[in-house]
Amino acid sequence: MRVHAGTLADPDAYWSQAFVMGALWEDFYSLDVSHGQGVFTLGADIAGFDLASGKQTWTTTQDRCSYAGATSGALLVRARTECGDEEAAGSDLLNRTGRTIATSNSAVAQTLSIDLPTDDTVPVLLGDSGYDRRTGSHLWTSSDLISAPQETNATTGTAAAIFGDVALLQDTNANTTSGLDLRTGHRLWRTDTTRFGTILGWDGHTVVLSDYTGLWAIDPRTGTITWDIPFLAVNTDTEALTGPSQLAAHDKGHYTYASAQTIIRLRPLEQ
């Protein structure tokens, strides 16, 4: 596989790098360049590379049933899961050289839909704990990061997204949504709810979620619902607003929501 970097004006201005990685024809590949280094995944193989030169800096592998994702600070979180098992066997934190700087044996893997920490002073989630992004040191453990399904003995992670220094937790088994202070590991708030929704975006202040009934926003630090808009309030044909959708946050309180059939613009009430 070859990765090429350039510009529209001069596509040969930068670099071209070939990665020798084995995979089956049906294996998917992914490329992340948004967290301080390049991370290229093809099947079970993962390679890190320098964004300026394209030079490959490290390689590692993952089990085909495992999960690995790049995060801020040029780090890679790799969950160890055996095929057929419901629980993770643990998680590793790799730095920009591919060296493992932290390991968790917690049978929990966290899957984040949005991962936007303030900076590298905000701990990274690994299993049921927070670890220093720079040193890999263990900082705290929180039982709020674990959900125990009622029908099996398997445990799952509750972290849905990270906004600044707060993690939004959704526990669909306990029917709760919570906010977790990532710097201390302490719970900030908890709300009993059966309405979870899909996390669409964040404007730096509020988190916007959506389900088949409408759009709503919460303050991740307090759990307060700042606004709630049923789809019937903006369109009598609710099917035009449901299904696959995207949300763009322009600045505080200004959004554009687009579904397959409709686009709406949202702004603060006072405007």
Question: For the segment 181-236, what is each residue's pLDDT rounded down to a tens digit?
Answer: 999 999 999 999 999 989 988 888 899 998 888 889 999 999 999 999 888 766 66
Q: Is the pLDDT reported for residue 62 higher than 90?
A: no
- The model's pTM is 0.84
Higher-pLDDT residue of 30 and 101 is 101
DSSP the chain: -EEEE--SS-TTSSEEEE------TT--EEEE-SSSSEEEEETTEEEEE-TTT--EEEEEE--TT-EEEEETTTEEEEEE--TT-SS--EEEEE-TTS-EEEEE--S-----SEEEESSTTSPEEETTEEE-TTT--EEEE-GGGEE--SSSS--EE-EEEEEETEEEEEETTTTEEEEEETTT--EEEEEE-S---EEEEE-SS-EEEEETTEEEEE-TTT--EEEEEEGGGT-S-GGGT-SSEEEEEEETTEEEEEESS-EEEE--TT-
Position 167 scores a pLDDT of 98
Average pLDDT value for the chain: 85
Identify the pLDDT of residue 258: 87
Q: How confident is the model at residue 85 (pLDDT cuts 50, 70, 90)?
A: low
Contact 252, 201 (CB under 8 A): no
Residue 21 has, within 13 A of its CA and on its CB side, a CA count of 27
Position 60 pLDDT exceeds 60: yes
Asked whether the predicted pLDDT for residue 261 surpasses 90, the reply is no
Write out pLDDT tens, residues 93-150. Answer: 999 999 999 999 988 889 899 999 999 999 999 999 999 999 999 999 999 999 877 6
User: Both tokens of residue 3?
Assistant: 């990765």
24 — pLDDT class (breaks 50, 70, 90):
low
Question: Of the ranges 113-117, 176-180, 204-208, 258-262, which one carries the lowest mean pLDDT score?
Answer: 258-262
More confident residue, 8 or 114: 114
